[in-house]
Amino acid sequence: MAVVFDKPHALTDVPMHYCPGCTHGIVHRLVAEVIDELGIEGKTIGIAPVGCSVFAYNYFNCDMIEAAHGRAPAVATGVKRSDPENHVVFTYQGDGDLASIGMAETVHAAARNENITIIFINNAIYGMTGGQMAPTSLPGQVTQTSPYGRDTKHCGFPIKVCEMLSELEGPEYLERVTVSNVKNIVKAKKAIKKAFQNQIDGKGFSLVEVVSTCPTNWGMTPQNALKWLEENMLPYYPLGVYKDRSAKEETK
Amino acid sequence: MAKLTFKTDKCKGCGLCVDACPKGLIKLANDKINQKGYHPAAITDESACVGCAACAMMCPDCIIKVER
């Protein structure tokens, strides 16, 4: 019998601390599968964020560094520039980390077309701190700090990171994917692989935004959370490639 | 005919694999509790499984090994 599917080597045996049904685990696995397929485990350095995925350094077999809140792209810049030929550097960040406190680092790393890969998990809520409103929370979304729903008069509108960065000259590749079902997981893996390949080819800043769930803080079962994601998140955060400079230049 | 191996102790009983199986072969074992305190996922009829690995791809904790 041939093994069709098993845990990738780049993922450790440590049981993940995530809540049942949290899609962080799926994205961790996709990143690990890509590291395995590209054969870069020995030279990959991951930057863990602050947030639910703060313990990401326990789950990946490659070297990991823990950054201060939101500063992962800055740390990644330093690591990558110290030895650009021999390192593959990726950050793994949530929406509270990347789109709130770390927005400046994200935008400037993109503007500089820094040759790093960013995996951005957007679940429209602060997970680790107990479900507060995030910059990406949807209008009308009920959270701990918006019990009557996000009121755009007081709290403004959610930030669409891919759309925003796509206006910059800098970034090489921006794509938004989701992991709501098997088909979307296959597409997400393809996007993550491309983001890593771009870095190996020296093309520059690649960001993959993964629209994810937070069953615990949304107050839903994992199944209902995936349904809610497809019905509410995806209309606001449309999937697709927002920037792919090399592909655009090839077609010219 | 495929062979599925579940690392039952790591299962959190989220049930995403139950929904992912196109043949509806996976159920949460309501008569069992693992060391984490969850009802772990298990396959009901292995002979009907074609080994598509949809359950394993959906599993957030990577507990399912699929052989075919």
B67: in domain = no
**pLDDT tens digits, residue range A146-178?**
999 999 999 999 999 999 999 999 999 999 999
Counted domains in chain B: 1
**pLDDT tens digits, residue range A47-94?**
999 999 999 999 999 999 999 999 999 999 999 999 999 999 999 999
Domain that holds residue B24: 3-61
What percent of chain A has pLDDT above 70? 100
**For residues A85 and A77, what is the distance between their CA atoms, to the nearest angstrom?**
13
Q: Which domains does chain A have, with CATH numbers?
A: 24-246 (3.40.50.970)
Average pLDDT over residues B1-25: 93
Task: State yes or no: pLDDT of A95 exceeds 70.
Answer: yes
Q: Which member of A1, A16, A221 has the closest CB to residue B61?
A: A16
pLDDT of residue A250: 76
**ipTM field:** 0.95
Q: Would you state the structure tokens that stand for residue B19, as one six-digit string?
A: 């929904």
Contact residues on chain A for B56, CB-CB shorter than 8 A: 4-5
DSSP A2: -
pLDDT of residue A1: 84
Task: Please report, for the domain that includes residue B44, its CATH number.
Answer: 3.30.70.20
pLDDT of residue A252: 66
**pLDDT tens digits, residue range A80-92?**
999 999 999 999 9
Task: State yes or no: pLDDT of B6 exceeds 90.
Answer: yes
Residues from B in contact with A at Cβ < 8 Å: 2-3, 10, 12-16, 19-20, 38, 51, 53-54, 56-62, 64-68
B66: in domain = no
pLDDT of residue A102: 94
Contacts of A195 (CB under 8 A, 6+ apart): A90, A117, A118, A119, A173, A175, A206, A207, A208
Residue in chain A lying closest to B12 (CA): A20
